Chains A and B, each alone.
Chain A
Amino acid sequence: MEYADIIHRCFRCGYCKFTREYQDFNCPTYRKFWFETYSPGGRMWLLRAWLNGEVQSSKRMAEIFYSCVTCGNCVEHCALDFRDNLVDIFVAARGEMVEKGLVLPPVRDYLKNIRIHGNPYKEPQQERARWADGLGIEQYAGQEYLLYIGCVGSYDERGTKIARAVASVLKKTGLSAGILGNKEPCDGNEVRLLGESELFQEMARQNITMFKELGVKKIVTLSPHSYNAFKNEYRELDGNFEVLHYTEALNRLVEEGKVSFSGLNETVTYHDPCYLGRHNDVFDAPRNILRAIPGLALAEMSKIKKNALCCGGGGGNFFTDIIGSGEGAPGRDRIREALETGAKAVATACPQCAKMLEDAAKAEGVEDRIKVMDIAEIVEAAGMRTAAD
């Protein structure tokens, strides 16, 4: 297995479980399960034992590895030199499980659906652009940007609402962008994270070829997960596109004074999506947009940016839900943290986070106390104005 030569170097000191200032455990699975096995260090030691034959393959072993949300908190806070490889090591372990046929049914189903249907929802490809009905969004035909929506934005009930908001906002700004519509493929980010690296590479190469043939140079994404795949993983496969998350594109226009807002009298807190924040260092763009809205008060949670707690949907868990629900579910913890700020809305910039947090608010019974909104939805509610207005 890749990285097999370094997994023994974990001392299991536990820095990886915390935030930088140690105020709380911040590894979502450790917080949920409380067994050391579900901590990054526990996984490292178990992985070595598994590869050495000291523990055997089991359903629990698969649960321990597939419950990891790949949020990168461990990478951020590990005290040792191999920290950058931690998530990669856990993904490589999943790869071993895929190869040996040891994955759990939800993981198997996800990968099967991608292979057969091209999306995890088992929806027909010709329905992929239904989210855009009536919006008048242009098809991509050489515009400056390809607006990439992704599977969640295309098919998920909550995701499609966010996709509509993002596309509408960008359209109104006059950004030169087009979508692929029913031709849009899955980006493969979760396929890679679930351990199917060969399938991911196959998908990525096809997508890169398609994008190049269409003359795509710049991509703006709805989802941080797509953003991560295009920006970091496609590059290694010769897919060198300029990639922006939509909040970065919008923030540029805010900074240039090309868009402004009527205002919104609301106290809002912001949840950092892991694949936008910790994995890609985009912390300021979404916050700058919120701060530019007159009347909006940004109330930060105690754990933000590199110390933000994951919603629980990363690493494929949005689809597989191996980490599971219950009072200790990361999304519910995060909603409780959001409530502590006194905010009436929690903003995020990821359709997966939005759905996870919205479900968590319902499970906590607080959906009437706090709304979950994408930045684009807040921007719409705040009455975005452009030069044309």
Chain B
Amino acid sequence: MARIYEALAEIVGKEYISDQAEELFIYSRDPGTMDPKKPDYVVLPRTTEEVQAVIHLANREKVPVVPLGGGLALSGLSRPLKAGIVLDMKRMNKILEVNEKSRYVVVEAGVSQGMLQAYLKKNYPHLKHSIPDSPPAATIAGNVLIHGSGHLSQATGFHSEMLNGMEVVLPTGEICKVGSCSATPYWFSRAPLPDLAGLFLGWHGTTGVVTKLAIKLYPNPALKDVMIFLTENPDHMPDILFKVTGTEMVEDLNVSATQLPDYMEGLQLTLIYVTANTSDELAFKERTIRETLRSYIDEKEGGFMVVPTFAKGRFLEAPLREMTKFSDTKKGGGFEYVGAIMPIELFPKAYRKGVEIAAKYDTPYSMAIRIIGRAHCMMFAYAYAFNRADENDRKNAQRALHESNTVALEMGGIPWKAEEPAQQLILKQMNPETIKLMNKIRAVLDPNGIMNPGNWEVR
């Protein structure tokens, strides 16, 4: 152990490695419900070469390596299931390049959502990236790699679809580039090359350590507004979402359904975000959207909520601080959600299951749905707040989450950024040949099995 510690200290500097009880405690857990798993070391690399040296060492010593971004997935993905080295990537925090005309940015893997947002606001106010509603400490890389979604996902898809390329330290230590950057000085696209990005997306750090990546940027219109459409019948939701996305005038589209406060129970709030460069354009878009939903209004099946100006701010904020406040629902500092990816026609069933599961576990239901890519699918989140100081309550939320994962799969959805137990549920019903392919890929890439072992493993 001392030998490994000394070798790691030699690589990153003694200030940036710890095997102390305090760091091992904090890095053994995330804010969600999953049980802690202790690492042996926490290491803070500054460069790709340092990451490479750590990987070489890990191979020599057969020590697991677990990359960590913001640590805010909530599903325990950065817990070292089989101990080893946690690589906290946040010191690699340089914004390397903005290509204004081709609208992309190249960043190191530790750059946070908040820092990129602020950097663009200051230096390129006409450009923006898709901001998830996770706190600003979430990293760009982490969110892309888990197939995250955000404020531009309705228009442009998962954040992994906004990835142009990346630099990866492979499990055997080679520094590899993926996308146009592998053959040119530009990071403009993954096409037209064989798309190797899939070797790293959604794998939960089991196939390498991403050290740099490029993501697409988008125009940032001057005006932004939110319209809120209220309904009380979840059966209408697929049609409403289909119609609204069909207007091609919506930047972001979410649905919120919560049991608390009492007066919100039974309602579905469709939050329709519209952007424009002029007030005329904004008015036209909002008028069009209203007309699209006219039949629901005429039949008294729904209506637009009057949102006072003072209340709009909290809906228009990016990221939404309100999401974090959900953790304080029980004055207990904890929440986790199952964000199941599923087709929008499953909305009514998914909604009713959410109400049912929450009642079973004696907790208020809270569901948040983000529409991905013009309703090609949706991320349907079942959120459960819990009291961190009450072990029974944490376990209760854990069970509710597991049942939500099970139900999502039974309905035809797939749990997103699945906890290790949920990964097992997915693998259980996955095509066996797909599993074989995954195993073959890992065996080739990671012959010593050092990368985040315990994830995506068939028991």
Interface residues of A (CB under 8 A from B): 6, 8-15, 17-19, 21-24, 33-37, 42, 45-46, 48-49, 54-56, 58, 60-61, 64, 79-81, 326
CA distance A175 to B113 in the complex (A): 51
> 5 A–B contact pairs at CB < 8 A?
A8-B389, A13-B72, A15-B324, A34-B90, A79-B325
Q: Is the CB of B327 within 8 A of A80?
A: yes
Q: Is the CB of A56 within 8 A of B71?
A: no
Q: Is the CB of B136 within 8 A of A46?
A: no
Q: Is the CB of B23 within 8 A of A23?
A: no
CA distance A12 to B74 in the complex (A): 11
Q: Is the CB of A13 within 8 A of B324?
A: yes
Which of B27, B117, B324, B335 has a CB less than 8 Å from the CB of A36? B27
Q: Is the CB of A10 within 8 A of B22?
A: no
Q: Which residues of B contact A12 (CB under 8 A)?
A: 31
Given A34-B91, A35-B88, A80-B327, also A14-B25 (CB < 8 A):
no
Considering residues B22, B327, B388, which has the most beta carbons from chain A within 10 angstroms of its beta carbon? B22
Q: Which residues of B contact A24 (CB under 8 A)?
A: 115, 118
Q: Is the CB of B325 within 8 A of A80?
A: yes
CA distance A8 to B389 in the complex (A): 6
Q: Is the CB of B135 within 8 A of A49?
A: no
Q: Is the CB of A9 within 8 A of B328?
A: yes
Interface residues of B in 61-86 (CB under 8 A from A): 70-72
A-B CB contacts (within 8 Å), total count: 109
CA distance A35 to B115 in the complex (A): 18
Q: Which residues of A contact B335 (CB under 8 A)?
A: 11
Q: Do most interface residues of chain A lie in helix, strand or loop, or is the interface mixed?
A: loop
Which of A18, A46, A58, A64 has a CB less than 8 Å from the CB of B114? A18
Interface residues of B (CB under 8 A from A): 15-16, 18, 20-23, 25-27, 31, 42, 44, 70-72, 88, 90-91, 112-115, 117-119, 121-122, 135-137, 321, 324-325, 327-328, 331-335, 387-389
| Smallest Cβ-Cβ distance to B137: which chain A residue | A14
Task: Report the minimal beta-carbon distance from A374 to chain B, rounded to whole angstroms.
Answer: 30
Q: Which residues of B contact A326 (CB under 8 A)?
A: 15
Q: Is the CB of A11 within 8 A of B21?
A: no
Q: Which residues of A contact B137 (CB under 8 A)?
A: 13-15, 17-18
Which of B21, B27, B70, B333 has a CB less than 8 Å from the CB of A9? B333
Given A11-B328, A13-B324, A35-B18, also A23-B26 (CB < 8 A):
no
Q: Which residues of A contact B327 (CB under 8 A)?
A: 9, 11, 13, 80
CA distance A23 to B122 in the complex (A): 9
Q: Is the CB of B135 within 8 A of A15?
A: yes
Q: Which residues of B contact A49 (CB under 8 A)?
A: 25
CA distance A35 to B325 in the complex (A): 24
Given contacts A33-B15, A79-B135, 17 further A-B contacts (CB under 8 A): A8-B332, A9-B388, A10-B333, A11-B335, A15-B136, A15-B324, A21-B118, A22-B118, A22-B136, A23-B118, A24-B118, A34-B88, A35-B23, A35-B88, A36-B27, A58-B22, A80-B324
Which of B88, B119, B324 has a CB less than 8 Å from the CB of A11? B324
CA distance A60 to B20 in the complex (A): 8
Q: Which residues of A contact B324 (CB under 8 A)?
A: 11, 13, 15, 79-80
Q: Is the CB of B26 within 8 A of A8?
A: no
Q: Which residues of A contact B72 (CB under 8 A)?
A: 13-14
Query: Sorted from nearest, which 4 A-B pairs have the closest CB atoms?
Result: A22-B114, A14-B137, A23-B118, A11-B327
Q: Is the CB of B25 within 8 A of A23?
A: no
Considering residues B26, B70, B117, which has the most beta carbons from chain A within 10 angstroms of its beta carbon? B26
Given A36-B71, A80-B328, also A11-B333 (CB < 8 A):
yes
Q: Which residues of B contact A42 (CB under 8 A)?
A: 26
Q: Which residues of B contact A6 (CB under 8 A)?
A: 331
| Smallest Cβ-Cβ distance to B117: which chain A residue | A22
CA distance A80 to B117 in the complex (A): 22
Q: Which residues of B contact A46 (CB under 8 A)?
A: 22, 25-26
CA distance A12 to B335 in the complex (A): 11
CA distance A8 to B385 in the complex (A): 13
Q: Is the CB of A35 within 8 A of B44?
A: yes
Given A14-B70, A17-B137, also A34-B16 (CB < 8 A):
yes
| Smallest Cβ-Cβ distance to B36: which chain A residue | A54
Considering residues A12, A48, A60, A64, which has the most beta carbons from chain B within 10 angstroms of its beta carbon? A12
CA distance A79 to B333 in the complex (A): 12
Q: Is the CB of B333 within 8 A of A8?
A: yes
Considering residues B16, B136, B321, B333, which has the most beta carbons from chain A within 10 angstroms of its beta carbon? B333
Q: Is the CB of B22 within 8 A of A37?
A: yes
CA distance A61 to B24 in the complex (A): 12
CA distance A56 to B328 in the complex (A): 28
Q: Is the CB of A21 within 8 A of B135?
A: no
CA distance A6 to B332 in the complex (A): 8
| Smallest Cβ-Cβ distance to A59: which chain B residue | B20
Q: Is the CB of B136 within 8 A of A18?
A: yes
Q: Which residues of B contact A34 (CB under 8 A)?
A: 16, 44, 88, 90-91
Q: Is the CB of A81 within 8 A of B27?
A: no
Considering residues A22, A33, A46, A79, which has the most beta carbons from chain B within 10 angstroms of its beta carbon? A22
Q: Is the CB of A8 within 8 A of B136?
A: no
CA distance A94 to B396 in the complex (A): 34
Task: Report the minimal beta-carbon distance from B366 to chain A, rounded to whole angstroms.
Answer: 15
Q: Is the CB of A15 within 8 A of B23?
A: no
Q: Which residues of B contact A23 (CB under 8 A)?
A: 114-115, 118-119, 122
Task: Report the minimal beta-carbon distance from B66 to chain A, rounded to whole angstroms.
Answer: 14
Q: Which residues of B contact A35 (CB under 8 A)?
A: 18, 23, 26, 42, 44, 88
Given A34-B90, A79-B321, also A14-B22 (CB < 8 A):
no
Q: Is the CB of A9 within 8 A of B22?
A: no
Q: Is the CB of B136 within 8 A of A11?
A: no
Which of A19, A36, A58 has a CB less than 8 Å from the CB of B88? A36
| Smallest Cβ-Cβ distance to B15: which chain A residue | A33
CA distance A9 to B388 in the complex (A): 7
Q: Is the CB of B26 within 8 A of A36?
A: yes
Q: Is the CB of B15 within 8 A of A22?
A: no
Q: Is the CB of A55 within 8 A of B25?
A: yes
| Smallest Cβ-Cβ distance to A23: which chain B residue | B118
CA distance A17 to B71 in the complex (A): 14
CA distance A21 to B389 in the complex (A): 31
Q: Which residues of A contact B121 (CB under 8 A)?
A: 21
Q: Which residues of B contact A33 (CB under 8 A)?
A: 15
CA distance A64 to B26 in the complex (A): 13
Q: Which residues of B contact A48 (CB under 8 A)?
A: 389
Given A13-B327, A15-B321, A42-B26, also A56-B21 (CB < 8 A):
yes
Task: Report the minimal beta-carbon distance from B396 to chain A, rounded to whole angstroms.
Answer: 16
Q: Which residues of A contact B118 (CB under 8 A)?
A: 19, 21-24
